[in-house]
Structure 1
Amino acid sequence: MKNLTITGLILLALSILLFYLTANNFTLNDLGMPHIMGILGGIGIGLIIGGMVGYVSKGSAIKAEQKRREFKQLQQEKEDLEKRAAEIERRETELDLRNQNPQI
């Protein structure tokens, strides 16, 4: 988001610079309907592009979060399976010891 704001400010400054370089002897009284339409068009295009970029970045963030959750779930399942395997191994070892020494 910070990068988009910085990019927007740079483009705004560039447009102001180009406007003043091309408009000689411009005063506020010269501000007419074409200028207002251009300003509103620029704002509209900026909002459309910003909306698309925001939508894409939010979708990417949601997918990344989902992958993190799945990874944590898989890690938990792995730990549970390792605990079960260790428990089964311990039981088998006890049974083997009992079978070897029936007096215990």
Structure 2
Amino acid sequence: MKNLTIIGLILLALSVLLFYLTANNFTINDLGMPHIMGIMGGIGVGLIIGGLVGYVSKGSAIKAEQKKKEYRQLQKDKEDLEKQAAEIARREAELRQAQNNNPQV
């Protein structure tokens, strides 16, 4: 969003600069239909670009969140497997200890 704001401000400054370079001695009484159409066109282009950038940003954020969830799930699964492995190792150690204490002849 910060980049979008910076780009918007740069485009706004550029449009103001171009307007002052092309309109000498402009007063509010000189505001005509071509100016209004230009303003409406600028707003329309800004909304289209903003919508596209917002759509892409939202998609990226959703993908990143999904990857985080998958990573957390993998960590949880890893912890569960480690607990199961520790439990199996403990049972095997107990079984070996029991076999060592009661040797069969």
Matching residue of 2:99: 99
- Map Cα deviations across residues 27-62 of structure 1 (whole Å, 9 max, x no partner): 111110011001000000000110010011001000
SS of 1:45's equivalent in the other structure is: helix
1:47 aligned onto 2:44? no
Alpha-carbon distance in 1 for matches of 2:39, 2:18: 14
**What RMSD in Å do the two structures reach over aligned CA positions?**
1.1
Unaligned runs of 5+ residues in structure 2 are none
**How many Å apart are 1:90 and its aligned residue?**
0.6
The amino acid of 1:33's aligned partner reads M
Alpha-carbon distance in 2 for matches of 1:61, 1:67: 10
TM-score using structure 1 length = 0.94
Alpha-carbon distance in 1 for matches of 2:25, 2:81: 78
Structure 1 residue ranges (4+ consecutive) displaced by more than 3 angstroms after TM superposition: none
The range that moved more, 1-10 or 60-69, is 1-10
The range that moved more, 2-11 or 41-50, is 2-11
SS of 2:7's equivalent in the other structure is: helix
Matching residue of 1:84: 84
Alpha-carbon distance in 2 for matches of 1:35, 1:64: 43
Unaligned runs of 5+ residues in structure 1 are none
**How many Å apart are 1:100 and its aligned residue?**
1.2
Alpha-carbon distance in 2 for matches of 1:18, 1:82: 66
TM-score using structure 2 length = 0.93
Mapping of residues 1-104 of structure 1, within 5 Å: 1-102=1-102
Alpha-carbon distance in 1 for matches of 2:38, 2:22: 15
